[in-house]
Every structure is written in C-alpha cells, then in structure tokens.
Homo-oligomer: A and B are copies of this chain.
Amino acid sequence: MSGPRHLVSIDDLSLAEIRELFERAQEFARDPRAWASLCPGLISASLFYEPSTRTRLSFESAMLRLGGGVVTAADMSQSSASKGESLADTVRVVGGSYSDIIVLRHPSEGAARLAASYSSVPVINAGDGSHEHPTQTLCDLYNLWVEHGRIEGIDVVLAGDLRYSRTIHSFAYALARFGANIICVPQAGFEMPEYVLQRLREEFGVEPQRADATRLGSLAAASDAMYLTPQKPHQLSLFTDARGWQVDRVDAVYMTRPQTERHGAGESTSEYLRLGKRAMAEESLRDAVVMHPLPRRDEISEEMDGDPRSIYFKQAARGVPIRMAILGTLLGRLDSNAESGAAPVQRYPVKIGDNPCPNSTCISHTETRHVSPSYQLASRSPLRAHCAWCSQELPFTHVACTSTGHYHLASAPCLRRVRPDHLVFMRDEGQARELGFEPPQRAARTCP
C-alpha cells in the first residue's frame, strides 16, 4: 500500500523507528520553541469522539510548536455524528482537504484502524476505547529512555490496577519488545489478565515467574509479585526454585489509578495502594523513578511531588516533544534513516456467518456499514484468532474449512494445515451445521 503512513498501533513502528523518534524528541525538548518553521501551512485535525482534554492539548501544542495549525472537534459525539454520519465518511471529508493529519480519539476499539483504512492523510490513534493509545506508550518508553539512557534490561515495577488499565497492558508489551524486565505488583484482585500474559508469552517468549518482592517493602506488601523477563530463558533458569526471582533493585515504578469506571460490582478499591515517602524509602527503590500516566487521585501521595525521583509531571511534559516527533515524521517533514515498520500483520476476512467478535463496542459492531469483520491468527496450535479490529480473542468451539466444506473441533490437529483464509469460526456445532458444513467424523480423512 502506498497510502500515507499511520500510527494506529505501536506495532506499526520498528524498534529502529521508535529509537529515532526518541532522538528527535530529545532535540525538540532542548528548545521546544525553536521549531516553528517545520510545519507551516500544515493543519492537524483533532477528531475527538469522547473528550480527553489532556491528550488533545498535548497534540495541539505539539502541532503549534511545529508551526502548524489546528482545527478542533473536541466532542464529535455531539456533532455531525448525530446526523448519522459514519466514521469512514467523516475521515474522508476531514482528511480530504480540511487537514493534513488526523488525531483521532474514539470510544470503539478498532476505530483508528478503520479510520486509517479510509483516510488519505495520516491518522494517529489517540486512544480507541480500551484498545490502544500508542502515543501514550511511546511517551512512557521515551521517559525511561531519557531517564536511564536505555530500556533493554532495566527493571520496571508495574503497580496498582493491572487488570483494567489499557495503558499498562500496552506498556507491558512494549517493555517486553524493548527487552525490559517487568515486576508486576498488582492491587490484590486486579492482577494482570491471562490474555496479556499469553500474548507476552507467544510474542516475546516471556514466562511469568513468581517473585519474592520482600525487598520492595510496603509497596508489595499486599500482593503476590510476578517477574516477567523477555527472551532470556538462561537467566530465568537461575531462579526456578520455589521462591522464584528475588527483586533486588528497581529502575522505575509505574503506578496506575484504579480504573473504577470499568470495575464490576464486587471490585472495591477502597484499600488501594498509596505510594508515599515511606514506601519509597526502601533501598531497592533508591534509584527508581516514579511514573504515572495521570490524572492521579490518591495512589501517589502529594508528599512525593517534591521528590526528585517523581517524574510524573516531567513525564506528561515530555508528551509534547515526542508528539512533535510523531507529527513531524508522519507529515514527512523529518527525514528518516530507520528501516520502517514491523512485518505487516496478515488479516483475513470472516467469510461466513455472523461477526464472531465478542466485544460489543468493537468498531466491527458499531460501524457495520464500512467494516468487514476480519481476524488475524494468533497461534495455530492451539488454534487461536483475534479480531483484526479490536484484538479481542475470538471464541469458538468448532472451526470449518470453506474449501473442504467440513467442520472440526477447534482442537483438531488437522486444522493446522487449513489455509487461514479458508477458516470459519463457529460458536458451536449447531452453527456449523446451519451454515451447511459437514460433520467432522465423515470428513476427518480428507483434510486439507
């Protein structure tokens, strides 16, 4: 595809490109007011289908610092959309001549990918529901890179609500990709979800280890800690005793607020972690920078604000230079030497039957007119597939093959040999029969 370059997911960028962004951001940060000659005449459009003032101002400030202009729709959900306009149409109009780049915030998972597939100008994902928020992740990584000079090999504590925080999940994948080690210190009951651990295992070879976090003191007092380290089985083997890995010293503590708006009935956070001077007095945390995506409520005490290790306000401030780097790059105003993109992900259409995505706020459900349900393979054995829009795992008990016309149990070994674009996912055997596929017993031998 020779269309414009988008930033829908952090996976759209190669490690080399990300490092290049960091270096540019570094330059911008030295004197943010000196770059107004980079993008004059160019316009960025903020299309926010839910308000997010902080993110919006950060992008708009970055564009203005580059000398560009900004048009703003701070709450699209109350505008044209009310006349029933699809996101695909809006993006084609706004990207047509109104603007040279679109910054999109949307409550539906997958919205940014949809927008990118229709837009003639670059689309930046500024948050699509609980899916991705790549510029936040890049900002967090950039902070580690600035503070520690590298990301590979550093030890990062993720603390608090690790279950519902989108920021944390994306950050964990990115840390693993960059080779950092993660120590999970969840609020009790808000542990890192299984599907996140699974992806960490499948993509980065991360095997979770029980961790002895007594040296973290009160920070880890109320929970079991877990150690995640990518691609280093030889190291891990050192720790495969009963006690697991021993936390020694930490480079960063990343706190998150309780995502109370996503919590269920029984999920109380009245006893939520509160990081203060006492907790941070442990020797193991002596050089640990304290990070937080903000806004915070009580999870970091105000007494920490003056502590030199507290970088959460700096962290937010660095959102501007990193976004300047992203905007300048996608607008083609910065030359790049880095090899671009990761290997493109294969996506396959869902050919027969209902849209199998179980996520009701997925863009494949909320904007059916312009979205063809599609999936990508996560693994062949066991067979697992994700919604190509919102990345949610597809549930199925049986899988059919459009070429042979039979269906199988999802665990059937023969499925490994079916071409991905021949796969059809069935929520149950009944659906397979309704759609006219033949039962597995008669078909077993003929596959594929």
Q: Which residues of A contact B (CB under 8 A)?
A: 29, 32-34, 36, 40-43, 45, 51-54, 57-58, 60-61, 64-65, 69-74, 76, 78-80, 83-85, 89-90, 92-94, 96-100, 257, 294-297, 302, 313-314, 316-321, 369-370
Contacts and interface: CB of A to CB of B under 8 A. Distances in A.
Given A97-B32, A295-B83, A69 B64 contact: yes
A100 B100 CA distance: 26
Given A41-B33, A79-B52, A295-B83, A73 B97 contact: no
B51 A61 contact: no
Nearest to A36: B41
A97 B45 contact: no
Given A53-B73, A54-B79, 18 more contacts: A32-B97, A34-B41, A45-B61, A51-B78, A53-B79, A54-B93, A57-B98, A65-B69, A72-B72, A74-B74, A83-B257, A84-B295, A89-B294, A93-B317, A96-B314, A96-B317, A98-B320, A302-B369
A93 B292 CA distance: 12
A366 to B, nearest CB: 15
A319 to B, nearest CB: 8
9 contacts: A43-B64, A45-B57, A64-B70, A65-B69, A74-B74, A85-B294, A89-B313, A90-B295, A97-B316
A97 B321 contact: yes
What 4 A-B pairs are tightest by C-beta distance, nearest first? Answer: A85-B295, A96-B317, A64-B69, A53-B79
A52 to B, nearest CB: 7
What does DSSP make chain A's interface, helix, strand, loop or mixed?
helix
Contacts of A71: 57, 60-61, 64, 70
Can you tell how many copies of this chain the complex includes?
3
Given A33-B41, A64-B69, A80-B53, A97 B295 contact: no
Contacts of A369: 302
Nearest to A94: B57
B317 A97 contact: yes
A326 to B, nearest CB: 15
Contacts of A36: 40-41
Contacts of A83: 257, 295, 297
B80 A295 contact: yes
B41 A92 contact: no
A302 B370 contact: yes
B52 A316 contact: no
Nearest to A53: B79
Contacts of A29: 97
